[in-house]
Amino acid sequence: MPGPAVYVVGDSITWLSQTAISDALSKAGYTPTISATPGVRIDQSQANVARLAQTQPWAWIIELGTNDAGANNTMWMAPFEAVWNSVSPAGCVIYVTVSPRAGPIAIEINAAIENLARSHSNVHVLDWGRLEYSTPGLVKPDTIHPTPRGQVALANLEAQELKRSCGS
């Protein structure tokens, strides 16, 4: 019998890690659906998230914001809120933080994620941004994209965070 549905939405970080994420979530008893697009900003993901939300899953993992930070996109907040409005009915929403290396916009996005988690009991934070920032070998020399080791680490952390924060 399939486990609870988990939708994972992200950019190239998730795209590169999708096999590892699918494996880790499946082994943890979840039924993952992964939608990842390299180079996508939050506003460019908005319609996709809204479409996916028409069949609301039990949980979401949202890994977006790196490209907003990289492009110094100061208009990220309204799309961030629109994505939240689409996923908010789910019992569990895990936001993956952006590496602080990506600059001031990354720090703003991470603060918005933390604020969302403080004000909504169904929101949880997976602080991948700080972890990959401080752990050599998890990202490639471009300091953004996960190495194979980083892909597995991210996938396992996502599965662990779902179990720890959301159960099954």
CA 113 to CA 128: how far, in whole Å? 12
Mean pLDDT of 10-32: 97
Segment 67-81, tens digit of pLDDT: 999 999 999 999 999
pLDDT reported for residue 66: 97
CA 159 to CA 26: how far, in whole Å? 9
CA distances from 121 to 44, 55, 93, 125, 165 (A): 27, 21, 9, 11, 10
Percent of the chain with pLDDT over 70: 99
Mean pLDDT of 128-133: 88
Mean pLDDT of 107-125: 98
Homologous superfamily (CATH) for 5-166 = SGNH hydrolase (3.40.50.1110)
- CB atoms under 10 Å from CB of 111, counted, come to 11
Is residue 168 over pLDDT 80? no
pLDDT reported for residue 129: 87
Is residue 136 over pLDDT 90? no
Tell me the domain boundaries of the chain: 5-166
pLDDT reported for residue 1: 63
Q: 114: exposed, middle or buried (C-beta count within 10 Å: 0-12, 13-18, 19+)? A: middle
Is residue 106 over pLDDT 80? yes
Higher-pLDDT residue of 167, 47 = 47
Query: Could you tell me where the beta strands, DSSP code E, fall in 54-159?
Result: 59-63, 92-96, 123-126
Indicate the pLDDT class of residue 103, thresholds 50, 70 and 90: very high
pLDDT reported for residue 167: 81
